[in-house]
Chain A
Amino acid sequence: GQNIDQPTEMTATEGAIVQINCTYQTSGFNGLFWYQQHAGEAPTFLSYNVLDGLEEKGRFSSFLSRSKGYSYLLLKELQMKDSASYLCAAVDSNYQLIWGAGTKLIIKP
């Protein structure tokens, strides 16, 4: 079956760095998305990786290893507003998104 695994919850300190991991098992693979979702709000796009390597976008970076079925989202210089859930989603061979349950990130002062 198809599966996405990511930690349920993580805690980090304001100003620090945190890495949120995601492993996936899909029938075929056509890329991986990261979305941010604040409580009670809609998910918003953060990044998309289809090739191996690191994509940097400001304080956020996303990494992909296709051979390992693994991705991570790296958040630097954490701010209180980064408290949110982070959703990992892989694109399968039918171009359907398979979603993880999300990682709730708690930022402490």
Chain B
Amino acid sequence: IAGITQAPTSQILAAGRRMTLRCTQDMRHNAMYWYRQDLGLGLRLIHYSNTAGTTGKGEVPDGYSVSRANTDDFPLTLASAVPSQTSVYFCASSDDLNTGELFFGEGSRLTVL
């Protein structure tokens, strides 16, 4: 059982480059999320999707975009990476946006130089 798969696991990127973090789930969950986790801060929601075809902005959406073409995939794109986007990115999914338990991917560690 794979659950949620993220790729890449780790990436070093030059500032100004475009980067897409991939996220795929096999649990047929409706809701999916992208968080970033920085030292000393709680998880911060970047974007979310209640169901395929819909997306919404979270707490820190600037500089990021997402798409939800189907139930399983929820890629996160940095159009032009900046050093402040250096972080660990977690993709998560849940059965139900309303209080459903979140299942997390293993994370993608991104360093922007």
Interface string of A26-59 (1 = CB under 8 A from B): 0000110101000001111100101000000000
Q: How far is the CB of A38 from chain B (nearest CB, A)?
A: 11
Tell me the complex Cα distance, A97–B102, Å.
10
**Contact residues on B (Cβ < 8 Å of other chain), bracket:** 10 to 19
Query: Known interface pairs A95-B97, A95-B98. Does A42 touch B40 (Cβ–Cβ under 8 Å)?
Result: no
Chain B neighbourhood of A91, CB < 8 A: 99
Chain B binding surface, main DSSP class: loop
A91 and B106 alpha carbons, distance in the complex (Å): 23
Query: Which residues in A have their C-beta under 8 angstroms from that of B43?
Result: 43, 87, 89, 97, 99
Identify which of residues 88-102 in chain A touch chain B, using a CB-to-CB cut-off of 8 Å: 89, 91, 95-102
Quick one: given A42-B106, A43-B90, are A48 and B41 in contact (CB under 8 Å)? no
Q: Is B104 an interface residue (CB 8 A)?
A: yes
Known contacts A87-B42, A97-B45; is-contact A42 B105 (Cβ 8 Å): yes
CB distance from A21 to the nearest CB of B (A): 15
Tell me if B68 counts as interface (CB < 8 A to partner A): no
Binding site for A on B (CB under 8 A): 40-45, 58, 90, 97-99, 101-107
Bound CA–CA A35/B40 (angstroms): 16
Q: A30-B99, A42-B105 are in contact. Are A102 and B45 (CB under 8 A)?
A: no
CA distance A35 to B107 in the complex (A): 15
A4 at the interface (CB under 8 A from B): yes
- B48: nearest residue on chain A (CB-CB)? A96
B58 to A, closest residue via Cβ: A96
7 contacts between A and B (CB under 8 A): A33-B102, A42-B104, A43-B90, A45-B102, A91-B99, A97-B102, A98-B42
**In this complex, what residue of B is CB-closest to A30?**
B99
Distance (Å) between the CB of A99 and the closest chain B CB?
3
A31 and B44 contact, CB distance less than 8 A: no
In the assembled complex, how far is the CB of residue A10 from the closest CB belonging to chain B, in whole angstroms?
A: 16
